[in-house]
Structure 1
């Protein structure tokens, strides 16, 4: 049991109403709830950080067909990746107080979590918050589906997001000769080139993507990590070389559209080109590659310690600011991952 006195209550963020269009601050509420006592098989965790991620838009919008996560209804507490410290555990628990763990019950100060739903952090990464990095997705997609080879020309769409901001440097470390990104902000584009391994970055809305891509990669591209879909995916397929590999990891064009509910992201695909050029087009699911997280953590930890890679993220102080952080993420106002310290 805990060696320090715990508060009687903790705060959590709940969905107040289903938005018409994109969610904003007013669609959420901060609730204070009694701190529960863990039963057998449970522990109480004090969250130190949790991730704000665009997939919540899909769960709030009601289009989660095929997802392994439940829809969010008014009154439900939000959830997502979090790291924290076990502060209460019943006798016989497999976890001890003081153990640093990760779990999926973010968006609250204290979380009651099943022992089996907690993962001890260990010492693979130098900073606990690094466990919230979305690099496992980027690394898995680039090594298992896009299969980066030395000398490849690689395109990463949505390069300033939580996945894309790590993907450029990962592709470079895997041997890519040229890495091209996309974003909607000139300031973000400059940071991607100056700090994160990108050779050039295409700007959304400046000119048609196919024109920009033809100039950036006149001989075509070998591999794609797509987090966006829509016209950017269409342009990527148009620029693909013979045998190019396309890994789909996100659908931001649909999730961040006020005209959709977050569960669809249509794109026009030239199937003739896919067939003639022998392109591979595959969605990445972490569940299909259970060996990736451990492999990623080992390499990520080594790269962080040597300075070969960084974890680009924005830290937001205070759980009361979390709803605003989600709105700002949707509006594209942050760079890299967005992490709340409750």
Structure 2
């Protein structure tokens, strides 16, 4: 449908189409929030006066709620404020390779991404368990009369979890995520809600995201903890050498083989300091890796959880 400024919408669908066209090029999360708010408001207005047609309701509401172009402009202005709030403090420009390499330690987004990757193991286990249990019970109860309300409850919980995950992704990874579901169920009958849940591609992409979070969470957690542990152990090599030398433990070691063998590798201060340098380099490499993986995961979450992200 071609949208013209002088074309007054006569149905809610036309209003939403014009609003979507006016927001073309904006962030998909912003478009999803705006469409949900507009549809929820318009359907609530229509429900208050059952005898009024959609055209009459829109003619009245447009003067108070705003025309699609006006609403789009308001949301664009609000988005500027949101993006400023999400943007971390500006980092000083570093021209040297050393400054760029070590400067990752001053970026707040690095540590929020690090926390997200460690936390992803717990969230991945919960999402996977919830999804598998819900799908299994939905299939098992589908032949019973309680199957329909259970399926609706399960899909509704998945929508809520997607919003919760979106808030975590936005706050920790800095990727704009929606604050509203992908569509409004206001004024829909039971069968219409069921049809909307099953026909909405985001319902299935969200389920896929929940299932993928378990293997991803295991990879994120294992990779982060292993690299941090190794880098910190290498960095502390001179301290271990000093303690072993002062205590005489290196000469009289009767502990486990791997402990004694590890200390023998530090036989000499040059080796200890070489390990320390390698540990520092590995630590900052880990921070770069964490920030890059966090960015990629945020884009994946937006691709799977936000309506219209693929088109945009």
Q: TM-score range by the shorter chain?
A: under 0.3
Report the structure, 1 or 2, having the larger helix content. Answer: 2
Structure with more strand by fraction: 1
Structure number with larger C-alpha Rg:
2
Structure possessing the higher relative contact order (Cα contacts under 8 Å, 6 or more residues apart): 2
